[in-house]
Structures are given as C-alpha cells and as structure tokens.
Structure 1
Amino acid sequence: MKSQGAIVKRCGCLNPATRRALGNGCPRLREPDHGSWYFHCSTRSLLGQAERVRRGGYASEAAARKARDEFLVLSRERQAGRSWTVDRWLRYWLSTRARIRPTTKMHYTRDVERFLIPHIGHLILGDLTSRQLNAAFTQIAATRNRSGQPQTPCTLQHVHTTLRAALNAAVREGLLVDNPARRVELPARERPLAQLWTEARVAEWEATGQRPSVAVWTPAQLAAFLDYVRDDNLFALWWLIALRGLRRGEAAGLRWTEIDLQARQLAVVRQRTTAGYDVHEGPPKSATSRRTIALDRHTVRIVRQHAERQRQQRAARTGAGKVCHDSGYVFTSPDGLPIHPGYLTQRLRLLVDRAGLPPIRLHDLRHGAATLAHAAGADLKTIQHQLGHATIRITADTYTTSLPAAQHKAAEATARLVLNASNPGTAMRHPAGRGNSAAWRPTAVEKTKPADDTRAARRRSKTKDRVAPKGGRRRARESG
C-alpha cells in the first residue's frame, strides 16, 4: 500500500500560552523564509505492515514533492533505509539474532543499549556517514567505565565490531549500499601479553598492589599451588586446566562419557558458559575448539582418583538420606549437579589468596599451560591443537610466554652455533691493497695448498704438450 500523501509547511514556533508547537497553524508560514516543507505518505515496512513516513526540512514545496516522488519509487528495503532511525534498525537487528550464542547476544545488547543508541540512535540509517560515526566514537571514548576510567581501546573495538555487524546486515538486507563503519578510525588495541611472575614482579606487586593484566606462574609457583589444593574436591579440574589448557566452560561441561582413560584422552564436545548469571550449555567456542586432548599417565591417575572420590561422596550422601543426582558430569557440586562456571572463578581466587601466591585469573592457568608445553619442547602446531585455537598466530602471539630457562637455553644455543662455525686455524685479516678494505682474503697458510695444486696442474699440461703421439711429428713435417 502506497499513498501519495501530502506536502505541508511547518515551523518550530511555540504558542506563548501553552508552549506547544504551532505546526502548520503559525500565521507566519505565508512568509517565504519562515518554516520548511515536509512530505508524509503511507507505505509498507520490511515486515509488511503499513506505516506512516514523514520527512522534512526542504526549502521549497517543489523540493519536498521531488523528495517524496523519489522515495515512493524506491524498493521497500531502500525506503526503510531512508526512513528508519539507527535506533529502530539496531533493535530490529537484535531481534533477528536467533542463531548466535547467548553470550554474544548479551554483548551485542550491551553495546547497543549502552553506547550506540544514546549516541547515534536518532540518526537516519540511510543518511549515516563515517564522519558522524567518528564523532560518535570520540564522544564514547570520553565517557567513563564502571571503574571511573575513560573507555579503553578494547571497549571501543568491541562496540565497533557490534556496529559493523549490524550495518553489514543492513547492507545484506538492501537498506544500505555501503557500510560507513568500515572507515571509522579507532585507537590501536594492544593485545596484552602474558607476563611471568618473576621475583621482581612479585616484589613490585607486594609493594604497590599493581599486577600485570595477564600473568602466569612459574613452574615452581604452579607446583606450590597444586600441592596446596591437593585435597580440594576440584583438584583434578585445576590440574586439567593448568596442564592441558581447558577453558572454564569446557571443564565445567566435561562429562565422563567424553573421557577414555584406557586410551588416555578426553574429547571436548561441549561447554557451559554464562550470560549474566544464567548458564547456557552448547557446542564449543569454535569448530577448532572441538578437539581430542591427550593425557599423560599421571593425569590419568588423578582423574581416576577423582572418580573414586566422587563415587564415595555420592554413596555417603545417599546413605545419609540426602538427594544426590547422577548427572554424568565430571565436576559437580555436592548434590551431583554440574558446577556453575562462575563458581570456579570465585573458588580459584579464594584458593590463590589462601596459598599466598601472586594473583592470577582462571584463564591465566590456560595461558600457563601453553607456556609449559612450549618450554617442554612442544611445537606451536601441537599447542594450537591442544588449546583449540582457530589460527596458530593466536597461539604464538598471545598464549606462549618463554620461561627464563628456555630463553637462556636459546641464547646459549645461538652463541654456540656461531662459535662452532669459527675455525681457530683460519684467522682472517684485512687486505693490504688500496681501495679494497671491505674485502677479506685468506692468509698465506690458506693459500699454500691451492697454489701447489695450480703449479702441478701447469706442469702436467706442459708435459702433455711435449709428448706427442707416435707419428705425430712425421705427419706434422709432411703437412708442413
């Protein structure tokens, strides 16, 4: 349904008594330079519903009529782009995101509600420009986060990623011809590298309370932690994350059917993640996260001990008349139900504090697993598969921190390579010739053998010239 609508002239004057807009009832509208022209018409939205469209700000009636006619000949998608605000499109886009992960939708919703709608929601989608977006991100960068600090480049990058995804969808739907978010300039995002808790960093943290954003323990510190939590019900979980690099959600979602102790391996086929406080169980983070992880014999013994402890606790709870569920999960609460992933984060923080060790996050144990595997001699491709990374670049740039022992070993090996290549008997010296100071020549000792070989070759050549074959001289005289 399309209606030619109407062309009207309006202004922003207010009634002095009621303070309401006079609209098209202003007596000054007859003046040529007072007010502006609008058009409004009826059309169908993307959802097939009838809706009223009004656009204004035109300098003349002819300009408003021309704009209306151009609008009515557009496709339904292009009409939506010219009439929908960014606010309306973002909310519509969020409502259609049915196949993304709950955590991803939560982050999208946060970015839309907190940053994008307040700063660009009032703009017309089809008129959006990169200049407007750059100005909006400058305003967003000046706001404060929950800690009272300016927004970080990481936050700006996340908001930009959400906006690009929303506008890419508008391009696919035909509302936009181009995505202006592609030309937005943002401050560089520095990817934090894992820092090792050396003695100097530990001393600085104890004195100032400042700590690296991403930090990993040394092997000695990790061993001290594992020794401290040996009697903890989740000891096997801390061990698997610290040595085999499981993600928090992968460990929380691990089931006994996915562990083969005879073959010494476990399969990662699901994860339990949180969106707010709600828990969502689904496939791993990516296709490469679905993987099989090898287990060493000591880890197998630890998992067997955990299974036996779990059976004993279940029997004791059932014998006491308490409810105990056989959920099939490897790591459970006392009632047998799977553990809330958020509890693991809180529990680790408490245990680390009690053990008197420098603080790390739960995800830092995963960083440490990559570091340990790298120091033990595993190649990056093996570590990439162990951690379930999509590309080896993530493994190399983020998840491997060389331990001091490995760095010293590499330094000694490099120096030894050069020292072994040098020959003390072949000393080098600068040539005495003028104009050739950049070249190097071997000493007289090195020249002896090649010179003797050359003189011997000349003698053999002269001998061959003097010794002619039989009849050779006779034929030469006859021919002469």
Structure 2
Amino acid sequence: MTKQQGVIFKACSCGARRDRECPLLSERGHGNWHFDIRVTDLTGQRRQVRRGGFTSEKKARAALALLRAQSFHPDQAAWTVESWLRHWLTTRTSIRPSTLISYTQHCDSFLIPALGRIPLHRLTVTDIATAYAGFRKRRNRYGQPLSAATIQRIHATLRGALKSAVRQGLLTDNPARHVELPPADRPHPVLWTPARIEAWHRDGVREKVMVWTADQLARFLRSIRNDRLYPLWHLYALRGLRRGEGIGLRWCDVDLDTGQIHITQQRTEVGGKIVTGPPKSKASRRVVALDQSTIRTLRAHRSRQHTERLTVGARWNETGYVFTRFDGQPLAPNYVTHRFADLVADSGLPPVRLHDLRHGAATLAHAAGADLKTIQDQLGHASITLTADTYTTVLPDAQFAAAAATADLLLGASRTMSDHGRLRCRPDVRSRITASRRSRQRADRASRTTQRRSQ
C-alpha cells in the first residue's frame, strides 16, 4: 500500500516499529496498530495524518478506510455535527490512545446522539446547553447521576472539536466557549480520625476521599506483608504512584543502585480495553527517588520473581514488567483495584480506595515537612496549583503545630519593652512557642517512623 493509500504498521511504547526491532510485537497485547497517510485537508492542502492506539490491524484498516472516504469539501452546508466529530476523531494526531478512546466514547455515547443531526454551522449555545441538561438526567453504570466533572470532560471534547472547525474555516466562532457549566469541585483528602471512624461505624457516612494516618498505614502494610504484591502496595503508599504507573513499571525503568525509578509509561483501562501508553502528561514523565526501605523491598521482589520464572519454566512470558501475574504477563488495572479492596476489607481498617494511597503519600510527605514543589515533582503534577489545592490536608500534630505557630505570631505583638529598650517576650508567650516547637517535632517524628513501623 502506497503513502497515498495509507500504510498500516504496529508499534510499541519502547520505540520499536513493526517486528524488525522489537521481538515482543508478535505477542498479543504488546503494542498497538497505527496508520500513516497523506490527505487533502479542508483548505485543499496536502498533509500527513498518523493515527495509532488501535488494538487490532482490522480496526486500524477500518479507521483508515473511513478517513479515505471522508469528504473534504470546504462547503459549510456539507457538514453536520456528527460528520465533523467523526472526521475530527479520525484526523487527530499526537494523542494518547487512552485519550482517543475517551473522546470516542464522549462522541458516540453523548454528543452524536444529542447533537449529531444539527448542521455544523447552525449549532448554537442553546443547542449545547439543552444537550448538557439532558446529560445531567442520565445515570452512570452505578445508577448515579452524571457528575459535574463528567459533564466537563464531555464539554472539553466538544469544545476541542469545534475549535478545530474554527481553525479550518467552517465556523466563525466556537459556541461551546459560551456555555456555562456547573462547577466541579475537587474533593480534598480527609483524615480517618477516631471521631470520623466512630461516625462511619454509626451511620456509614464518610467523605469521598479518605486517607489513613501514619499509624493506620503502618498497620495495613504489616497486615499484608506476606501478600505476593506487597512491593506494589508499598510503592503506591510511600511514593504516591498512579495505578497505571505502578503496573506499567518495567525493570529497565528501575535503578536500585542509585535508588530511582523512571516513570515512562502506564497501563490504563478505558472502555473495557487495556492500553499501554505514555504517562498522563508531560510532567508525569519523571524520576522518583526511592528510600532504603523501598529499595530493599524491590530487591527482594526481584529475587522472588526470578524464582517464579524458574518454577513456571516454559510457560513464563518474559514481558519485562516489575509486577506481573504468575505467568509473567502484566497485571490488569481492575484486578489491582479489586485486590487492594479485598486486602483493606481483611485488615479491619476504615476503607480507602487504591487512589487514596496516592493522596495519603502526598499528605504524609507534606506533614513531614516536604514543600509543595517537591510534592509536585514526586506526584508528576503539571501545575503546583493542583498540588496546593488538593494535597494541603495535614496530620493532627501538624495542624496543632500550625495553630500554635499562628497564635505565637499574634500574641507576639503583645511583647513589652524592657528597661534597656529591647523587646522582651512575655513568659506565657515563651511557653506557647516552646510547646509549638515540641508539637512540630512530634509531627516530624511520627512521619519518619511510618516506614520503620511497616517493616
């Protein structure tokens, strides 16, 4: 097939193309299918379009055939919202496979059924607002109304598609820009204090995002010490990796001699499909420092994995992943989530989600004295504003220390002048300052002993 007709090929995240360089590409589930073609755009210019993330060669060929069959006529009247959305999806470049799947779901499940028949140039703010009002009446798979955050993600897909139509000259303005959306408040982590545990046992009420204290986390890690995936839970709890980053980690990304891991890919599940691709954002591609406890845990895990490989023999699949099934295949994201939930239920501790370990790692680091920039780098946030807005929850001792320090600052204004004209601090203020220092020291000691208690 020529470049004019399109080229189909398979590639993987390690950079190998087709089966000439990567011996794993022939294995099912490794890598994705892509196509490359030169097309005439809406302005009559020739340009290259490359799309990837297809789970089979058949799907890649179908998408390529759809792109070749697209009408590139610049007449506005020739386009409906549906035809434009499908054209936009087909011609997207430089996009993560999981993001493409998410965009496609938004279009197929929401935008096209609600807006698809409307001529593109006649789409109004009222049309979009009416569609969103209908979306808010729908239920998700758990029987709950669609959240404001879900509506905002659907809106972002539509806005991006219409922005492209403006660039191509099909629209003079983007009507999605003027639609008012309900705010999507980001939940803040809340600590499992004795009072909240009592209230949860009494009436079952709890916040959406709950995190364990240092003592509770240490108890959990001790209770699962013999679990086969203990090193994975340890890594999530202490370094705050995302779920997909942990199960996407390969041994080539781990340097135990220098105590570093390189986050270069992730395994996610979108629409029932497991996709291996780059991290969530550019900032998510990062280097994470490891403490000595985690280094020892990973060394022991590598030795156990080697023993498993010898035991399984020819049935072992050498995938290079750090955390695998018993046959060497990488873990599925949903399996990890359900396995963690079972371990939490067996531990007798108040419930937290797997992603809450990430919240907890940031909260503990903040309470231990880490500044927000350090936490941002550790978690791979693109903006420090997100870090500050989400991870400012602190442990009780640190809260008391902050309250005492604030009182010290205020009461310090009541200092009296000595006979020699020097500032002298009143005895009661000095005692508060001393108590504040001791409180901060207790908070630091509590956070530093979290790892030791888990061993």
Q: Same fold (TM over 0.5)?
A: yes
Give the alignment partner of residue 105 of structure 2, picking from 101, 104, 110: 110
2:369 alignment counterpart? 377
Alpha-carbon spacing, 1:303–1:146, altered in 2? closer, same or farther (3 Å): closer
2:296 alignment counterpart? 301
1:472 alignment counterpart? none
**Which structure has the larger Rg?**
1
Post-superposition offset of 1:78? 5.0
Secondary structure of 2:218's partner? helix
Post-superposition offset of 1:293? 1.1
1:153 alignment counterpart? 148
Instruction: Report if the CA contact (8 A) 1:87-1:117 is conserved.
Output: yes
- Describe how 1:55-94 pairs up with structure 2 within 5 A: 78-79=74-75, 81-94=76-89
Instruction: Report if the CA contact (8 A) 2:43-2:74 is conserved.
Output: no
1:123 alignment counterpart? 118
Alpha-carbon spacing, 1:97–1:210, altered in 2? closer, same or farther (3 Å): farther
- Describe how 1:182-193 pairs up with structure 2 within 5 A: 182-193=177-188
Secondary structure of 1:316's partner? helix
Secondary structure of 1:386's partner? helix
Give the alignment partner of residue 164 of structure 2, picking from 165, 169, 177: 169
- Describe how 1:223-372 pairs up with structure 2 within 5 A: 223-318=218-313, 323-372=315-364
- Describe how 1:200-219 pairs up with structure 2 within 5 A: 200-219=195-214
Post-superposition offset of 1:421? 5.1
Structure of higher RCO (CA pairs closer than 8 Å, 6+ residues apart)? 2
Render the CA deviation track for 1:147-200: whole Å, top value 9, x for unaligned: 444332112211111110111111122111110000001111111111111222
Structure 1 residue identity aligned to 2:350: P
1:411 alignment counterpart? 403
Instruction: Report if the CA contact (8 A) 1:102-1:275 is conserved.
Output: no
Post-superposition offset of 1:261? 1.5
Q: CA–CA distance in 1 between the matches of 2:310 and 2:252?
A: 20
Render the CA deviation track for 1:41-89: whole Å, top value 9, x for unaligned: xxx99599xxxxxxxxxxxxxxxxxxxxxxxxxxx7651x223221221
2:192 alignment counterpart? 197
Secondary structure of 1:312's partner? helix
Q: CA–CA distance in 1 between the matches of 2:379 and 2:122?
A: 44
Q: CA–CA distance in 1 between the matches of 2:77 and 2:409?
A: 68
Q: Which stretch of the first structure deviates more once superposed, 92-101 or 389-398?
A: 92-101
Q: CA–CA distance in 1 between the matches of 2:359 and 2:321?
A: 25
Q: CA–CA distance in 1 between the matches of 2:149 and 2:319?
A: 39
Post-superposition offset of 1:98? 4.9
Q: Which ranges of structure 1 fall in alignment gaps of 5 or more residues?
A: 1-43, 49-75, 427-444, 448-480
Instruction: Report if the CA contact (8 A) 2:284-2:380 is conserved.
Output: yes
- Describe how 1:12-91 pairs up with structure 2 within 5 A: 78-79=74-75, 81-91=76-86
Render the CA deviation track for 1:343-372: whole Å, top value 9, x for unaligned: 111110111111112221111111111001
Alpha-carbon spacing, 1:324–1:150, altered in 2? closer, same or farther (3 Å): closer
1:22 alignment counterpart? none
Instruction: Report if the CA contact (8 A) 1:265-1:294 is conserved.
Output: yes
Instruction: Report if the CA contact (8 A) 1:375-1:402 is conserved.
Output: yes
Alpha-carbon spacing, 1:162–1:241, altered in 2? closer, same or farther (3 Å): same
Alpha-carbon spacing, 1:376–1:278, altered in 2? closer, same or farther (3 Å): same
Post-superposition offset of 1:121? 1.5
Q: CA–CA distance in 1 between the matches of 2:293 and 2:41?
A: 64
Q: CA–CA distance in 2 between the matches of 1:146 and 1:314?
A: 39
2:437 alignment counterpart? none
Alpha-carbon spacing, 1:145–1:273, altered in 2? closer, same or farther (3 Å): closer
Q: CA–CA distance in 1 between the matches of 2:262 and 2:408?
A: 42
Q: CA–CA distance in 1 between the matches of 2:317 and 2:82?
A: 47
Matched, 1:101 2:91: no
Secondary structure of 1:288's partner? coil
Instruction: Report if the CA contact (8 A) 2:260-2:288 is conserved.
Output: yes
Alpha-carbon spacing, 1:345–1:147, altered in 2? closer, same or farther (3 Å): closer
Q: CA–CA distance in 2 between the matches of 1:125 and 1:380?
A: 45
Identity %: 53
Q: CA–CA distance in 1 between the matches of 2:271 and 2:113?
A: 22
2:175 alignment counterpart? 180
Instruction: Report if the CA contact (8 A) 1:77-1:175 is conserved.
Output: no
2:385 alignment counterpart? 393
Render the CA deviation track for 1:391-443: whole Å, top value 9, x for unaligned: 101111113421111111111122233444533456xxxxxxxxxxxxxxxxx
- Structure 2 length normalisation: TM-score? 0.73
- Structure 1 length normalisation: TM-score? 0.70
Secondary structure of 1:293's partner? strand
Secondary structure of 1:289's partner? coil
Q: CA–CA distance in 2 between the matches of 1:317 and 1:191?
A: 46
Q: Which stretch of the first structure deviates more once superposed, 247-256 or 207-216?
A: 207-216
Instruction: Report if the CA contact (8 A) 2:43-2:168 is conserved.
Output: no
Q: CA–CA distance in 2 between the matches of 1:207 and 1:95?
A: 53
Instruction: Report if the CA contact (8 A) 2:265-2:278 is conserved.
Output: yes
Structure 2 residue identity aligned to 1:276: G
Alpha-carbon spacing, 1:325–1:147, altered in 2? closer, same or farther (3 Å): closer
Render the CA deviation track for 1:263-283: whole Å, top value 9, x for unaligned: 111111111222233222222
Count of residues in correspondence between the two structures: 355
Instruction: Report if the CA contact (8 A) 1:325-1:336 is conserved.
Output: yes
Q: CA–CA distance in 2 between the matches of 1:383 and 1:340?
A: 28
Q: CA–CA distance in 2 between the matches of 1:148 and 1:269?
A: 36
Q: CA–CA distance in 2 between the matches of 1:359 and 1:303?
A: 26
Q: CA–CA distance in 2 between the matches of 1:264 and 1:145?
A: 42
Instruction: Report if the CA contact (8 A) 2:42-2:168 is conserved.
Output: no
